[in-house]
Amino acid sequence: MSKEIIAAAQSHLHGVDLQLISQGAEALVFKTNTHPYLPSSIKPSDIQNSTNYIIKYRPFKPYRHPVLDKQLTKSRTASEAKLLSRLYTLGVAAPKLIATDAPNGIIWMECLGYELENDGGVSSLKNWLWMLEKQFEQDHGPEKKKQNVALGDEVKTVMELVGKAVGHLHLQDIVHGDLTSSNIILVKDKENNNQPTLIDFGLSSYSSLVEDKSVDLYVLERALTSTHPMYSQQYNDWLLEGYEQVHRENKAMKKHAEIVRRLKDVRMRGRKRSMLG
């Protein structure tokens, strides 16, 4: 099946090298060295630090009516691409849009992140935290793990920055819709510090509703609990500190109070739902 889908992607992308890096429910994600506009004599490395680009391809979904499928593919691809371009204009950190072919479900964007040491994989927040958690447990033994002792200062800084990134998005009345530690990629800045950048805006939307923003935070909280169970409470506390800071800096503390109050309700609803199965 996936061979056929890759062939379909290749049929829209003649002569483009495609290296499959992820196959999700909605899309296939490829890495490529080919830029959509640059002549092949110019290497990407000649014009910027990146030597790779990402191609996100939404394939035909056989379980959908073909007409509806075409419409959905086109509109979802176009809205994700528009949002990436809007985020760039707003100065919110996200992959830069390079090109889009909405009717064929293709978005070409900047490739973010770096390879973590010791084969830790790409620098998603999830992989990076797993790497540090493993190191921490090796250095301190299982006792500290049981006591849920906090990891170092860098983790606190990064989690606060994650909270700030989500806060920035919410202050622009944009909700992400699928916040997880895999959908946050760490990028090194000029001082070699890790800067979290949100990716995967496929389920994002414009909303000024307190409910939508608190659900966004809740989804991330749940994702952290399931992926980093021993440390998630601490991670989330730091994240919420960053979220508060960015609201304070933008004189939006009233809005912040409403969102945090609603987050408590959303948590209660979530608990009730899981109790009822």
Ligand X SMILES: Nc1ncnc2c1ncn2[C@@H]1O[C@H](COP(=O)(O)OP(=O)(O)OP(=O)(O)O)[C@@H](O)[C@H]1O
Binding residues for ligand X, rule: CB under 6 A, are 21-22, 24-27, 29, 54, 56, 95, 109-113, 122, 124, 178, 182-183, 185, 199-200, 202
Q: Which is nearer to ligand X, 21 or 150 (CB)?
A: 21
Taking CA 8 as the corner, what is the angle to CA 3 and CA 11, rounded to the nearest 5 degrees?
A: 125
Is residue 191 packed enough to be buried (19+ CB in 10 Å), middle (13-18) or exposed (0-12)?
Answer: exposed
Q: Which helix (H) or strand (E) holds 115?
A: none
d(CA 199, CA 196): 10
Question: Virtual CA dihedral for 167, 229, 211, 174, nearest 10 degrees?
Answer: 40
Active-site residue identified among 17, 153, 178, 237:
178
Structure tokens at 175: 């909700």
Structure tokens at 3: 């061979």
Find where tokens 């909280």 sit. Answer: 221
In whole angstroms, the minimum distance from the beta carbon of 247 to ligand X comes to 27
Question: Virtual CA dihedral for 95, 201, 153, 226, nearest 10 degrees?
Answer: -140
Q: Residue 196 in contact with residue 162, Cβ under 8 Å?
A: yes
Closest CA relative to residue 109, chosen from 41, 166, 52, 168: 52
Q: In this structure, what DSSP letter does residue 103 have?
A: G
Q: Which is nearer to ligand X, 55 or 246 (CB)?
A: 55
d(CA 77, CA 201): 10
Q: Residue 186 in contact with residue 196, Cβ under 8 Å?
A: yes
Taken in order 170, 160, 82, 7, the sign of the CA dihedral is negative
User: Can 178 be counted among the known catalytic residues?
Assistant: yes
Residues in the chain: 277
So which residues are the catalytic ones?
178
